[in-house]
Amino acid sequence: MFIDESYINTLIEQAKSATDEQINEILDKAERFEGLSHKEVASLLHVTDPKLLNRIYTIAGKIKEHIYGNRIVMFAPLYVSDYCVNNCKYCGYKHDNEFCRRKLTMAEVEREVRILEQMGHKRLAVEAGEDPVNCPIEYILDVLKTIYNTKFENGEIRRCNVNIAATTVENYKKLKEVGIGTYILFQETYHKETYEKVHPVGPKHNYEYHTTAFDRAQQGGIDDVGGGVLFGLYDWKFEVMGLMLHNEHLEKEYGVGFHTISVPRLCKTEGMDMSEYPYIPTDDEFKRLVAIIRIAVPFTGMIISTRESLEMRKTLLNMGISQISGGSNVEVGGYGEHTTQPQFKVTDERSAIEIVKWLMDMDFVPSFCTACYRKGRTGDRFMSIAKSGNIKNVCLPNGLMTLCEYATDYGDNELKQKVERIVKENLPKIKDEEVRREVEKNIISITKEGKRDLYL
pLDDT grade, residue 53 (50/70/90)?
very high
User: CA 204 → CA 83, 229, 244, 269, 330, distances in Å?
Assistant: 14, 14, 22, 19, 21
Q: For residue 234, what pLDDT is reported?
A: 98
pLDDT, one tens digit per residue, over 364-420 is 999 999 888 777 787 777 777 777 767 777 889 999 999 999 999 999 999 999 999
Read off the pTM: 0.94
Architecture of domain 70-349: Alpha-Beta Barrel (3.20)
Mean pLDDT, residues 314-331: 91
pLDDT, one tens digit per residue, over 188-198 is 999 999 999 99
Q: For residue 301, what pLDDT is reported?
A: 93
Q: For residue 389, what pLDDT is reported?
A: 67
pLDDT of 245 > 70? The answer is yes
Q: How far apart are the C-alpha atoms of 290 and 424, rounded to whole Å?
A: 31
Q: For residue 338, what pLDDT is reported?
A: 65
pLDDT of 223 > 80? The answer is yes
Note the residue count of the chain. Answer: 456
pLDDT grade, residue 342 (50/70/90)?
confident
Q: For residue 345, what pLDDT is reported?
A: 73
Residues 6+ apart with CB under 8 A from 10: none
User: CA 387 → CA 32, 256, 297, distances in Å?
Assistant: 12, 12, 11
Q: For residue 413, what pLDDT is reported?
A: 96
Q: Taking the domains of the chain in order of start, what are their residue ranges? A: 8-65, 70-349, 390-449
Per the model's pLDDT, the better-predicted residue between 136 and 335 turns out to be 136
Q: How far apart are the C-alpha atoms of 347 and 154, rounded to whole Å?
A: 30
Distance of CA 189 to the CA centre of its chain: 17
- Cα-only R_g, the chain: 21
pLDDT, one tens digit per residue, over 134-170 is 999 999 999 999 999 999 888 899 999 999 999 999 9
Per the model's pLDDT, the better-predicted residue between 352 and 69 turns out to be 352
pLDDT grade, residue 22 (50/70/90)?
very high
Distance of CA 295 to the CA centre of its chain: 17
pLDDT grade, residue 456 (50/70/90)?
confident
Q: How far apart are the C-alpha atoms of 344 and 330, rounded to whole Å?
A: 7
Q: For residue 58, what pLDDT is reported?
A: 96
Q: For residue 14, what pLDDT is reported?
A: 97
Mean pLDDT of the chain: 93
